[in-house]
Amino acid sequence: MQRKIAVTACIMAMIAVGLGAFGSHILGAKIGEESMKTFQTGIQYHFVHALAMLIAAIGIGVWGESRQLIWAAWLFLAGILMFSGSLYLLSTTGLRIFGPITPLGGAAFIAGWILFALGAGRRSASL
The string of pLDDT tens digits covering residues 34-85 is 999 999 999 999 999 999 999 999 999 999 889 999 999 999 999 999 999 9
**Long-range contacts (CB closer than 8 Å, 24 or more residues apart) made by 15-19:** 15/46, 15/50, 16/43, 16/46, 16/47, 16/50, 16/84, 17/47, 19/43, 19/46, 19/88
* Residue 123 confidence (pLDDT): 66
| DSSP run (H or E) holding 27 | none
In whole angstroms, what is the distance from residue 88 CA to residue 107 CA? 18
Decide if pLDDT at 103 tops 80.
yes
| Domain boundaries of the chain, sorted by first residue | 2-121
Query: Band of the pLDDT at 94, cuts 50, 70, 90?
Result: confident
Question: Does the predicted model carry a pTM greater than 0.75?
Answer: yes
Angle ∠(77,39,9) on CA atoms, nearest 5: 25
* Residue 27 confidence (pLDDT): 85
